[in-house]
Structure 1
């Protein structure tokens, strides 16, 4: 069993500051990684809007937080390399050998199922709020902010989505970077993540809020802000893991 350290409210600021230093140490691979995520996100978002699927563009964008931890696996590897005084390579960030195992697949499958469940829940909330299909983003936005039914949809969606998002955060905030350690399995990693949130609830709630605000800012830029924000958060998340999780108490000690 891994030890779990207690952290203070200043921890998220330290992680973000350290992540800036990490990005300056390896700017090119980190920004290319972020640009790839940004361009794919923008392409999907744009295609949905042009297909008059504004609702799905909005709901799937809100659900980005559910799958982002797995997409950031290459950035955790970069943080691990920098910790060892090694220079991260883009090829190793794109093909993380230590992540190519069944435990990572099981965690990824869990997050995918949560993501798909969120899409279904969002569809139910939307369907219970209106009988119309708002095809454009402007129509959907006008409905959401100017009508009582739209306000109800926003409130219900925020509550349900917030609960789902925080539950997802609780099981992945530590488990995804932890699985780069070949000695960890998915159950130990998820349990350690839950213990970390339980022991550091308020600081990690602040960290979750910071992530949410930054991702919302990226959404406001049609996801192009992910070029910088995504690698920044990925490297900071690696630092969060290293700060919170200590040694494996079950590991044999040298005599």
Structure 2
């Protein structure tokens, strides 16, 4: 069915090599706006380190790992400024820090609804993580070394990691499917959350293997940033955000509404 018949934008089918092109394009865009992107990434890292320190000192070791993993669920909402950066670069403009830290078009009800939906998915993620941990052991690991030793050296810990990875992966891919296109699409104020979310799901269904690969690449780059003490996220997060804008523009062909919104 056509766009006129469904009221939904058309979706492109892409090849398995497309995610590599998005990532390369994201890196090129990063080099064109290094200063604002680094500041954006540094602010995100500062907030992440503050939350991590608070959880660690509160003794919430299990929650610490869940929060680090769940970061990937909510990251698309945190990248609105980077989508704006990609859009401005696409229009030949030079982004400034103020332009990407305060995106007026991102302050709208539809994005709050999408954010709330991700919060609900994240809440399920947290509860499932607690359930898997509780069913895996009768012990309570109070310190980070104890918990890491349990995961790496204890057979029960191995089972917990395997089960948690499978369940968490399913939940994460569901969240990814909901938001991978919808978040950048909502920069266009003529789109609403329902159309954007359905478009995102259709995009993933049409391009399952390329989008699965793109999701794996995002996870790998995010994990790389986290294992460096979050410092690596100063670079990897902006690059992922800029690449995600390119993915959206490649997957959802420009309509007159998109062009008009971009020009306004």
SS of equivalent to 1:181: coil
Matching residue within 65, 76, 80 for 2:87 = 80
Deviations 1:66-117 (A, max 9, x none): 1100000110011011111111121121111111111111001111111122
Q: How does 1:16-31 map to 2 (within 5 A)?
A: 16-31=23-38
Whether 1:245 and 2:257 are equivalent positions in the alignment is no
- Alignment-derived partner of residue 162 in structure 1: 169
- SS at 1:224's partner residue? coil
Give the counterpart of 2:20 among 13, 21, 24: 13
Aligned residues: 251
Tell me the distance in 2 between the aligned counterparts of 1:162 and 1:148: 21
Correspondence 1:53 to 2:60: yes
Equivalence for 2:261 = none
Per the TM alignment, residue 248 of structure 1 is displaced from its structure 2 partner at its CA by: 4.3
Give the direction of change, closer, same or farther, for the CA distance of 1:178–1:111 in structure 2 (3 Å limit): same
The within-5 A match list for 1:107-122 is: 107-122=114-129
Distance in 1 separating the partners of 2:200 and 2:70: 20
Matches within 5 A, 1:70-149: 70-149=77-156
1:191 pairs with 198, 202, 205, which one? 198
Task: Report if the CA contact (8 A) 1:39-1:224 is conserved.
Answer: no
Cα deviation, residue 53, structure 1:
1.7
Structure 2's unaligned 5+ residue stretches are 1-7, 259-264
Query: Post-superposition, which runs of at least 4 consecutive aligned residues in structure 1 deviate over 6 A?
Result: none
The one of 215, 219, 241 aligned to 2:222: 215
What is the Cα-based RMSD across aligned positions, in Å? 1.4
- Per the TM alignment, residue 210 of structure 1 is displaced from its structure 2 partner at its CA by 0.3
Distance 1:41 1:250 in 2: 36
Partners of 1:145 and 1:20 in 2: CA distance: 35
Structure 1 window deviating more from structure 2 (136-145 vs 228-237): it is: 136-145
Tell me, yes or no, if structure 1 residue 68 matches structure 2 residue 75.
yes
Q: For the residues of structure 1 that align with 2:117 and 2:131, how far apart are their CA atoms?
A: 21
- Tell me, in whole angstroms, the C-alpha distance in 1 between the residues paired with 2:202 and 2:37: 30
- Is 2:163 the counterpart of 1:150? no
- Give TM-score scaled by structure 1 length: 0.95
| TM-score normalised by L of structure 2 | 0.92
| 2:190–2:257 CA contact under 8 A, matched in 1 | no
